[in-house]
């Protein structure tokens, strides 16, 4: 348990994962931004030197294609998107010290430096791999530059890595009638020499890093041990891509570019270097003091979908090139809405800019904090629960403490506080030093809250703050200042003075979570600056001071606004489908979309399945092997191309929708006996989820 006093401020550099530059910010990004921002605000308010860095992840084929579709250069696209991303995240009070771009000079130079150091130390290898090559355009084709017929469902005009119709993933060489998406020519197979990072050489180092020093929580350690202890161990990592590719050229190579996942995490370093160079021009060693000095701490916040990159590749790269490895990598789960994965058709795939049009961002911060723990469990945003918690715990309990006494009652007291009695000070002391049992000891509630913030257990923080708010509300109700003002104005002044001093303490506790609300309380009390944890003491109680006129702090949640927001999301999805321009004849292989009859559709048997086993498929980066319980139909074996969005260990126990009467298909990995239904692509791919009460084997219509 941390002490309430702190002699030597810590030096901490914090990052959140980089949003990719080819799509808008949605609530999944917002969850991580808020979780990180709460921790950073706590550290700063607790007197530590703490900086928060992020950037847009800008490189790779998807950005190239998105820019090509708009008819602009990739640099123009990422510049516009970066501004949009920063604006959207900032609208939720996410307070970055610097929000940069991975397409920066700083990132290029650091990426080259790290690569060359790894190469100098013998951690880089070269070998040839077979790839698709267009002889007409004389270039190797990334997956998204190849189109053809899906080998699974036979849909035309599909990309080289996955089918947008059935969701199947595959190798470009498995496409039927494959052709270059640029010119329509059929590609040939050709060897290309690629560059690899010898990750396996860091096996022992990574095992020690993972199991010592509390760098990751036990749940994450368990997952990482599965990779480290696998029969094949850690494999070499391909860090190169052939041109055309939007990214950094590899020094000393021709037409070879760093794979996006090499320079993306280096973007954390680059964003900090950009900031330190600008804000600390007289301290040239500021960057090294964080990234090379063991006395500083580097803390990353990420989602569990990118765990592998941040806890294996990234520490190995840093260690191998002479940089400090992260002190802590905090991994959070996914966000669901109303019990299900975010859905565009239901209007629950909510973009940040749509949310802020209808609802208060501080309400979401409050609600999410009440559900965030130090683990990586998924978090559900239930709008019924959201409404109840915000209206009851935030507005009804904490904000109401201030509003109920700060209008007419204070006006009748010339808006001037009085003096506290010994009994009143005992109440305030209880808000700071009430003993709470925790583990094997007993600690002051102030330290319990601070330690819960430190451990990223915000749910515990909110429980304690709400309980303290209940205590102060009972005090107000018992003393009824609205009655005392008529009978004993000076006693009413004493109650108001006690209540507002208590509200100040609660505002400090709440500041990392709802900074605007806390700052408004400070403004009401005529206090300058932002709330600080050093304000949590009885030595500087407010007495005999003037209080400013009351201004609305926050309103209750309007359920009609929630309905309107969800409806706008649905309409925007429908409109995007209607307004989608017709595809051009970019290749001679394009044909009309296949249509089926209602009789064909009736042949498809959809059943509820429950995943009882899930594991990786050796030799197939995108496949997951699952065993699905279909009730009376028994357990079926399925190879599903969903690894880009779901890790095998997260699938066990999940209920899914399954095409149960699919003809078994022999693959080189085994027999696939059914198909999991899903929508979307890439990281936004989403398995169809049946109603939570559905049982394995239930038929769906």
Domain segments of the chain: what residues?
11-121+198-332, 360-540, 598-700
What is the arithmetic mean of pLDDT over 494-519? 98
Question: Which residue from 306, 297, 292, 319 is spatially nearest to 213, judged by alpha carbons?
Answer: 297
pLDDT category of residue 7 using cuts at 50, 70 and 90? low
Question: Which residue from 612, 616, 641 is spatially nearest to 168, judged by alpha carbons?
Answer: 641
* Domain over 598-700 is classified CATH 1.10.1040.10: no
pLDDT at 275 > cutoff 50 = yes
Contact status, residue 406 vs residue 500, Cβ threshold 8 Å = yes
Burial environment of residue 212 by CB neighbours within 10 A (0 to 12, 13 to 18, 19 or more) = exposed
From residue 68, alpha-carbon distances to 60, 61, 62, 75, 246 in Å are 13, 10, 10, 11, 12
Instruction: Say what the pLDDT of residue 580 is.
Output: 42
**Token pair 């500021």 is at which residue?**
286
Beta bridge partners of 484: none
Helix (H) or strand (E) holding 464: helix 458-479
Contact status, residue 212 vs residue 178, Cβ threshold 8 Å = no
**Token pair 């859905």 is at which residue?**
343
How many CA atoms within 13 Å lie on the side-chain side of 316? 25
What is the arithmetic mean of pLDDT over 681-689? 66
Helix (H) or strand (E) holding 437: strand 435-438
pLDDT at 521 > cutoff 80 = yes
User: b/e map of 381-408 (b: 16 or more CB within 10 Å)?
Assistant: bebeebbebbbebbbbbbbbbbebbbee
Angle, vertex CA 521, rays to CA 517 and CA 527, nearest 5: 130
Phi, psi angles (nearest 5°) of residue 572: -65, -35
Question: Which residue from 577, 591, 618, 518 is spatially nearest to 158, judged by alpha carbons?
Answer: 591
Contact status, residue 380 vs residue 458, Cβ threshold 8 Å = no
Write 288-296 long-range contacts (CB < 8 A, 24+): 289/11, 290/11, 290/13, 290/51, 290/324, 291/13, 291/323, 291/324, 292/322, 292/323, 292/324, 293/11, 293/324, 294/324, 295/11, 296/11, 296/12, 296/13, 296/324
Instruction: Say what the pLDDT of residue 273 is.
Output: 98
Cis preceding linkage at 244, omega within 30: yes
pTM over 0.85: no
pLDDT at 499 > cutoff 90 = yes
DSSP assignments along 203-225, one per residue: HHHHHHHHHSSSSS-HHHHHHHH
Pick 428 or 235 by higher pLDDT.
428
Helix (H) or strand (E) holding 117: helix 105-120
Residues whose CB is less than 8 angstroms from the CB of residue 221 and which lie 6 or more positions away in sequence, other chains included: 210, 211
How many angstroms separate the CA atoms of 422 and 541, rounded?
Answer: 13
Instruction: Say what the pLDDT of residue 3 is.
Output: 43
pLDDT at 129 > cutoff 60 = yes
- pLDDT tens by residue, 168-226: 767 788 899 999 988 889 999 889 999 999 999 999 999 999 999 899 999 899 989 98
Question: Which residue from 401, 434, 398, 404 is spatially nearest to 509, judged by alpha carbons?
Answer: 398
Tokens representing 593?
A: 């979309």
Write 585-588 long-range contacts (CB < 8 A, 24+): 586/181, 586/182, 586/184, 587/147, 587/157, 587/179, 587/180, 587/181, 587/183, 587/184, 588/179, 588/184
- DSSP reduced 3-state for 44: helix
Chain centroid to Cα 352, Å, comes to 13
Angle, vertex CA 289, rays to CA 283 and CA 292, nearest 5: 140
From residue 285, alpha-carbon distances to 268, 290, 604 in Å are 17, 9, 65
What is the arithmetic mean of pLDDT over 495-509? 98
pLDDT category of residue 585 using cuts at 50, 70 and 90? very low
**By mean pLDDT, which of 42-46, 168-172, 454-458, 595-599 is the weakest?**
595-599
Burial environment of residue 165 by CB neighbours within 10 A (0 to 12, 13 to 18, 19 or more) = middle
Instruction: Say what the pLDDT of residue 76 is.
Output: 97
Torsion of CA 163, 168, 172, 174, to 10 degrees: -120
Helix (H) or strand (E) holding 302: strand 297-303
Tokens representing 7?
A: 């002699």
Looking at CATH, the fold of the domain delimited by 360-540 is given as Isoleucyl-tRNA Synthetase; Domain 1 (1.10.730)
pLDDT at 684 > cutoff 60 = no
What is the arithmetic mean of pLDDT over 666-684? 76
pLDDT category of residue 692 using cuts at 50, 70 and 90? low
Cα(first)–Cα(last) distance of the chain, in Å? Answer: 55
Contact status, residue 190 vs residue 130, Cβ threshold 8 Å = yes
**By mean pLDDT, which of 186-200, 402-416, 676-690 is the weakest?**
676-690
Instruction: Say what the pLDDT of residue 131 is.
Output: 85
Chain centroid to Cα 539, Å, comes to 40
pLDDT category of residue 581 using cuts at 50, 70 and 90? very low
Mean pLDDT (the chain, rounded): 90
**By mean pLDDT, which of 45-49, 237-241, 416-420 is the weakest?**
237-241
Phi, psi angles (nearest 5°) of residue 542: -85, 120
Phi, psi angles (nearest 5°) of residue 692: -60, -25
How many angstroms separate the CA atoms of 432 and 539, rounded?
Answer: 12
Instruction: Say what the pLDDT of residue 584 is.
Output: 31
Beta bridge partners of 427: none
What is the share, in percent, of the chain residues with pLDDT greater than 90?
Answer: 67
- DSSP reduced 3-state for 303: strand
pLDDT at 522 > cutoff 60 = yes
Question: Which residue from 685, 541, 568 is spatially nearest to 622, judged by alpha carbons?
Answer: 685
Q: Which CATH architecture has domain 11-121+198-332?
A: 3-Layer(aba) Sandwich (3.40)
Contact status, residue 21 vs residue 57, Cβ threshold 8 Å = yes
How many angstroms separate the CA atoms of 573 and 349, rounded?
Answer: 10
What is the arithmetic mean of pLDDT over 10-18? 97
pLDDT at 591 > cutoff 50 = no
pLDDT category of residue 137 using cuts at 50, 70 and 90? confident
């Amino acid at each position: 348990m941390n002490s309430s006093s702190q002699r030597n401020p810590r030096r901490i550099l914090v990052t959140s994962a980089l949003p990719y530059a080819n799509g808008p910010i949605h609530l999944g990004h917002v969850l991580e931004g808020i979780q990180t921002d709460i921790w950073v605000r706590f550290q700063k308010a607790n007197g530590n030197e703490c900086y928060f860095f992020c950037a847009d992840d800008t490189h790779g084929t998807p950005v190239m294609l998105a820019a090509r579709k708009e008819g602009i250069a990739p640099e123009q696209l990422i510049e516009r998107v970066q501004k949009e991303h920063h604006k959207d995240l900032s609208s939720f009070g996410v307070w970055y010290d610097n929000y940069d771009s991975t397409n920066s000079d700083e990132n290029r130079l650091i990426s080259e430096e790290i690569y060359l150091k790894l190469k100098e130390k013998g951690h880089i290898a070269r070998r040839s791999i077979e790839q698709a090559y267009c002889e007409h355009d004389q270039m190797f084709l990334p997956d998204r530059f190849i189109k053809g017929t899906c080998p699974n469902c036979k849909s035309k005009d599909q990309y080289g890595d996955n089918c947008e119709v059935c969701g199947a993933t595959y190798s470009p060489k498995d496409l039927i009638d494959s052709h270059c998406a640029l010119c329509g020519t059929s590609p040939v197979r050709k060897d290309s020499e690629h560059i690899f990072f010898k990750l396996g050489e860091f096996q022992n180092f990574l095992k020690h890093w993972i199991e010592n020093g509390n760098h990751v929580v036990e749940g994450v350690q368990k997952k990482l041990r599965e990779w480290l202890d696998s029969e094949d161990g850690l494999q070499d990592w391909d860090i190169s891509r052939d041109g055309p590719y939007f990214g950094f050229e590899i020094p000393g190579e021709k037409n070879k570019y760093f794979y996006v996942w090499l320079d993306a995490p280096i973007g954390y370093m680059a964003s900090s270097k950009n900031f330190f160079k600008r804000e600390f021009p007289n301290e040239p060693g500021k960057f090294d003091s964080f990234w090379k000095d063991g006395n500083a701490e580097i803390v990353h916040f990420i989602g569990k979908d990118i765990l592998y990159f941040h806890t294996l590749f990234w520490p190995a790269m840093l260690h191998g090139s002479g940089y400090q490895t992260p002190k802590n990598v905090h991994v959070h789960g996914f966000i669901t809405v109303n019990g299900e994965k975010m859905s565009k058709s239901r209007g629950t795939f909510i973009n940040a800019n749509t949310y802020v049009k209808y609802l208060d961002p501080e309400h979401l911060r409050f609600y999410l904090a009440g559900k965030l723990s130090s683990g990586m469990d998924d978090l559900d945003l239930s709008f019924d629960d959201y409404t109840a918690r915000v209206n009851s715990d935030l507005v009804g309990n904490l904000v109401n403490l201030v509003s109920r006494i700060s209008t007419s009652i204070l006006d009748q007291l010339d808006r001037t506080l009085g003096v506290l009695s010994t009994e009143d000070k005992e109440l305030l002391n209880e808000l700071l030093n009430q003993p709470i049992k925790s583990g094997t000891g007993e600690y002051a509630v102030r330290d319990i809250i601070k330690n819960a913030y430190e451990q990223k257990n915000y749910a515990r923080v909110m429980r304690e703050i709400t309980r303290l708010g209940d205590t102060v509300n009972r005090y107000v109700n018992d003393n009824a200042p609205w009655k005392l003002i008529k009978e004993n104005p000076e006693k009413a002044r004493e109650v108001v003075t006690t209540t507002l001093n208590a509200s100040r303490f609660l505002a400090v506790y709440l500041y990392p979570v709802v900074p605007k609300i806390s700052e408004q309380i400070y403004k009401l009390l005529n206090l300058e600056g932002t709330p600080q944890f050093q304000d949590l003491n009885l030595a500087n109680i407010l007495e005999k001071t003037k209080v400013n006129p009351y201004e609305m702090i926050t309103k209750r949640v309007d359920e009609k606004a929630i309905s309107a927001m969800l409806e706008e999301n649905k309409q925007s999805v429908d409109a995007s489908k209607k307004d989608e321009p017709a595809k051009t004849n970019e290749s001679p292989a394009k044909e009309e979309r296949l249509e089926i009859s209602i009789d064909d559709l009736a042949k498809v048997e959809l059943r509820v399945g429950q995943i009882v086993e899930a594991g990786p498929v050796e030799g197939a980066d995108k496949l997951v092997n699952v065993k699905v319980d279909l009730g009376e139909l028994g357990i079926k074996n399925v190879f599903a191309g969903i690894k880009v969005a779901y890790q095998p260990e997260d699938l066990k126990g999940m209920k899914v929708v399954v095409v149960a009467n699919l003809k078994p298909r022999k693959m080189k990995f085994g027999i696939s006996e059914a198909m999991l239904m899903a929508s979307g692509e890439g990281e936004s791919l989403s398995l169809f989820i049946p109603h939570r009460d559905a049982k394995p084997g239930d038929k769906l219509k």
